[in-house]
Structure 1
Amino acid sequence: MAGSSTDWISLAEAAEILAASNVRFQASTIGGWARNGKLQSIKLGGRRFVRRAEVRALITPPRRVHADHLQPGLFEDLRD
């Protein structure tokens, strides 16, 4: 369910998600990203939590678009 409490994970859980993909960062580094606004976060009871989807996005490869899926004629003016 979107917006549920399971969308927010601890910094240690975020580090575990990254480590499972061979991307190793300390929880304190992830906390620094959150404090600097690079990751959305909340602070409850002295603990900081970040969005699971944002952490997963760090390890998701960018989507590639193949040339045959582009709109026909989109780059015609670049040929000459």
Structure 2
Amino acid sequence: MATHGATMPGHDRSKRPTKSEEDDDDDPVEKLLKKAGCLDQHYAVQECMFDNKDWTKCQNQVKEFRECVERSQKKKK
């Protein structure tokens, strides 16, 4: 799902997530990722994007996040 130009709450790549944002259970995306056990991988992608400003330099983090989500989905089946 691409949201070109639109950002979701808690997904601002222009800054690192703060501790309060990390603990914010009001974000439905973060709730789902936490339940799936993939929130740390999600934050690793965000931090890499913040540090590099280039998603192509974050392929290891993206791969780990994708694999975590896939494992979580397989557990549900």
Structure with greater helix share of residues: 2
TM-score w.r.t. length of structure 1: 0.27
TM-score w.r.t. length of structure 2: 0.28
Structure with greater strand share of residues: 1
Greater Cα radius of gyration, structure 1 or 2: 1
